Amino acid sequence: MKKFFITTFACVLGVLIAGLLFTMLSVAALTGMVATTETEYTAKPNTILKLDLGVVSERCQEDYMGLLLGSQQKTDGLDNILKAIETAKQNKNIAGIYIDANGMAMGIATLDRIHRALEDFKESGKFVYAYADNYSQREYLLSAAADSVILNPVGAIDFRGLTGQVTFMKGLYDKLGIEMQVLKVGTYKSAVEPYTNTRMSEANREQTMAYMTPIWNHLLEKLSQDRNLSVEQLNNLADTLLITVDAQELVTKGLVDTLMYRPQMEQFLKSKVGIDPDDDLTFASVSEVASIKQASNKAKDKIAIVYAEGGIDMGESNGINTAELVKDLMKIERDEHIKAVVLRVNSPGGSAYGSEQVWAAIEAIKAAGKSVAVSMGDVAASGGYYISCNADRIFANPATLTGSIGIYGIIPNLEGLLTGKLGITFDGVQTNKYGNFGSAGRPMTPDERRQMQNYIERGYELFTSRCAEGRNMSIDAIKKIAEGRVWDGTTALEIGLVDELGDLDAAIEWVAQEAGLEKYNTVTYPKLKTAMEQLRDDFDLNIKSRIAASYLGENYKYFETLQQIQNIDPIQYRMEDIELY
Q: Which residues are catalytic?
A: 189, 382
Q: Strand 258-259 and strand 179-185: pairing?
A: unpaired
* Whether the Cβ atoms of residue 237 and residue 249 lie closer than 8 Å to each other: no
Read off the DSSP letter of residue 573: E
3-state secondary structure at position 258: strand
Task: Tell me how far apart the alpha carbons of residues 402 and 479 are, in angstroms, rounded to a whole number.
Answer: 15
Q: Strand 94-100 and strand 127-132: pairing?
A: parallel
Long-range residue pairs from 243-252, CB within 8 A, at least 24 positions apart, any chain: 243/156, 243/157, 243/158, 243/159, 243/160, 244/156, 245/156, 245/157, 247/151, 247/152, 247/153, 247/154, 247/155, 247/156, 248/153, 250/151, 250/156, 250/157, 251/151
End-to-end Cα spacing for the chain? 53
The string of DSSP codes covering 91-112 is: -TTEEEEEEE-SS-B--HHHHH
CB atoms within 10 A of CB 314: 21
Read off the DSSP letter of residue 242: G
The string of DSSP codes covering 188-229 is: T-GGGHHHH-SS--HHHHHHHHHHHHHHHHHHHHHHHHHHT-
Task: Tell me how far apart the alpha carbons of residues 436 and 430 are, in angstroms, rounded to a whole number.
Answer: 7
